[in-house]
Structures are given as structure tokens and as C-alpha cells.
Amino acid sequence: MTSTPRRRAHSLLAVVVPALVAGLLIVAASFVPAQQPTARVVDAGPTVQTRACAFTGAPGALVASGAEVETTLLDGQVIDDPSVNGAVTGSVVLRAAGEQPLTAGVRSQSSAGLMWAECRPPATTGSLLLPDPATAEVVLVNPDRTDAGVNITLSGATGQIQSPGLRGIVVPAGSMVRVPISVHAPAGAPVTATYQASQGRVQAAVRSLTTAPEQAVATAPKRVAVFAAVPTRPTGARLLLHNPGGERAEVTIELLGPRGRFAPANGTASLAPHTTVAIDLGAAFTERDMGLVVTGSSEVLSMLTTQGANDIAWMLPDEAATDLMDAVPEGTLQVVNPSPDEASVTMVQVHPDGTADAPQTLTIPAGASGQFPVVAGQVRITSTAPIAAAVRVAGTGQAVSRVRPPAGVVVPQPGTMDPQLAQ
């Protein structure tokens, strides 16, 4: 039978219309946005602060500022009550949750002398001042769970000392490594040891090898450095200085005390770039309750060393500030006022159980010092003018514990997970 034109048109429409409708549906669908996965907020977890004490002295007791502080030896063994005398027998790691700054130190008393060892956060770089490579060594503590690699460079009286043997030092996770410096630098003169971690991080200290125990942590360069306290009437004193910059540094030394601010003999020094020197202050500290100010034309590193009848002390400076907070041992808290204005100083003692004594207030004239008795715990100091503070540690021998400005705590912030990363 022959098709008519009308029948052929109906057949064509039967094929074309469904195809056209399907095409339109596809085009329309392309204009509908696809449903996107919802972004998720990821909890960063609690703030955990870590401090390490490169402690190598006689058994001692820990003083810490945080209420919930876990203290372990490097092998992970927990010390139940580290505040008991003799409880700390080696390097320790402290961890505390929360945003309150964690400060701590270890007080050690033996027949050989008295020592205070600061606990500090591990870092990737820092500098240590050694009074004499023949009688001091570098100690590196790795509190983390991964190995650390460290390179050390030395600087002496004439500049950098070539010491290829101090590169690529491996500090295994949860361990301490002692690094002798005597084979790399001449005896009798101070050197600066600057460390840089190629991987991981460490807490570093310089340790005395003499019978008198002493150690000091890494320090940072400052243009104005204040030593708030020294042992009472030491028989000798030396100021170690290092110029880390590329230009000559001119340094002025001044004493603070009951009769104000004045210059001692040997009160100036000129440091060539990258050199380390010692300034003999002799018997400059003949009076009680004295401090020291070091002012440079550029930033310099400094450490004060003193000798007594049977002990030594190494002291690090800090910058003057109007707000100080630190863990301290029992002793005499000395506050010095290096500013040109009178300072009204308020001190609050916080005990290990969290209770606080009533505030004590003292007015300190410009260039002078004032004292408060303190027990082991934490002190908080506020002042109307920039001041510095340190504790002459109670005991038999010489030791000083500085009181530093409160360090900022890095608080983890919640993050947002990009949903596209999971596709």
C-alpha cells in the first residue's frame, strides 16, 4: 500500500519529538547546579605546651607553674611527684594542656653546690655561650617522637671557628646527646655555639664539667639586656659577649644597686663581627642587691658568670618589661629598675596548689633595686615602669633564677576541611 503525505508526516513527528524532548531535558539539566558537599569544621584539639629540661645535675626538685603538668623522663616514665627533693634524676619533659603559660625549672642542691636549670620549649635554632670549651659542653635534648638533626657553628675571639665535626649531629627521639666542644675550640677563652636543626627540634643547654654544677639554656641577642640579680658579693665576675651581626658592636656596661646606676671599671667593649669576648668585672659586685645593664649599638648575646668560695653561677639576662610571670624556687626575689622613672611594683606569689597571697607593693627609684622573700611556686609582677627581676636561690652555693615576661601561647584554631579534597 502506498504511503500518503499525511502518514509520512506523522511517522516523522513520532521520531523527532521524543528526541527533541530528550535533548531539551539534557540542556536544562546542565543549568541546574550540582549539589555540593557541605564543608566540615575540624576541631584542632586542645592546646598542649611542651617544655624540656636538659638537666644533668644531682637529683633535684621541679618547680612548675601549671596546675595539670605531666612530667616524664626522656624514656616516657612518669614522675608522680616531681616537686619532691630528689625526684628529678635526669632530663625531663613537661606537657600541659590549656592556655596558661607553662614555666618551670629544676632546683638541685648537692655538696658540690647549688643549681637552677630552666625548662624551655624545644626549638630549631639558638645560641649558647660557653665560658671555656675545656670546662663546658653542649647538651641537646630531643623530647619529640622523631629524630632530630643538628648542625653547630662556633665563634671565638677572632670570629668563626672551623668545626666540620659538629655538623650532622643526630639526636634520637626521646634522648639526650652530650657534645664536647674542647676538641673544636682552644681552651681558656669563651666561645659561642649556635645550633640549627636540619630536621626536628631540640632543647639545648651548656653544662659545666667542673666539680661545681651549673648550666644555662640558649639565649637570644638583645640591644638592652638586664641582669636583675647576682649572687651576694661573688669573689669574681666575667661578662661574656657575642656579636652575631656583620658590623662592629659598641657595648656599655652599667651597674644597678642601692646607690643607683653607675659605670664599673672595664665598663665598655668593642666587638668585631661574629666574635666572642669576656670582660673581667673583677670585684665589681662589692655591694649587696646589685644588678647589671648591658647596652649595645646593635643586638648582642650576653651571659654573666660569677665565682664564689666553692661554687659558680651562670646568669642570662632579659629585657625590662612592665609584666613578668615565672616559676621560681625559694629565695630572695630582686627587682631592678633600669628606667629613668620611679617604678611602683606589685608582686603576687602563687603557691603550687593554686592559692595566691595578698599582693605586695614596693616603690623602686630609678636605677635602684628592691627585694621580696618568695617560696617555691609562681610569681606575677606588674610595674608602672619597665623593670627586670630574678631570684637569688636559697641554699648552699650560688644560683639565680630569672623572672621573664609571660610567653605567648599558640592556641590551635579550628579549621575547615575542603570538601573537594575528598572527591
- Please state the rounded mean pLDDT for residues 207-230: 95
To 10 degrees, the CA torsion angle through 52, 54, 56, 58? Answer: -40
State whether residue 280 is helix, strand or coil. strand
pLDDT of residue 4: 52
Tens of pLDDT, residue by residue over 234-265, are 999 999 999 999 999 999 999 998 888 999 98
Half-sphere exposure of 224 (CA within 13 A, CB side): 10
Tens of pLDDT, residue by residue over 273-317, are 999 999 999 878 888 899 999 999 999 999 999 998 889 999 999
Check: CB of residue 190 under 8 Å from CB of residue 131: yes
pLDDT above 90: residue 412: no
Tens of pLDDT, residue by residue over 33-53, are 555 555 555 544 557 899 999
pLDDT of residue 38: 59
Tens of pLDDT, residue by residue over 309-355, are 889 999 999 889 999 999 999 999 999 999 999 999 999 999 988 89
**Rounded Cα distance, 211 and 301, in Å:** 26
State whether residue 9 is helix, strand or coil. helix
pTM for the model stands at 0.85
> End-to-end CA distance of the chain, in Å?
60
Mean pLDDT of the chain: 88
- Please state the rounded mean pLDDT for residues 123-132: 97
**Rounded Cα distance, 57 and 422, in Å:** 52
Least confident of 1-10, 76-85, 244-253: 1-10
pLDDT of residue 27: 45
pLDDT above 50: residue 28: no
Q: Could you give the angle at the alpha carbon of 162 between the alpha carbons of 161 and 163, nearest 5°?
A: 105
pLDDT of residue 282: 82
Check: CB of residue 370 under 8 Å from CB of residue 395: no
**Rounded Cα distance, 410 and 421, in Å:** 27
pLDDT of residue 16: 45
Q: Hey, which residues does 63 pair with through a beta bridge?
A: 105
Longest dimension (CA), the chain: 134
Cα 144 from chain centroid (whole Å):
16
Check: CB of residue 106 under 8 Å from CB of residue 114: no
State whether residue 25 is helix, strand or coil. helix
pLDDT of residue 57: 80
**Rounded Cα distance, 340 and 112, in Å:** 41
pLDDT of residue 134: 97
pLDDT of residue 257: 87
Report DSSP state, residue 247. Answer: S
Type and span of the H or E element at 297: strand 291-307
State whether residue 378 is helix, strand or coil. strand
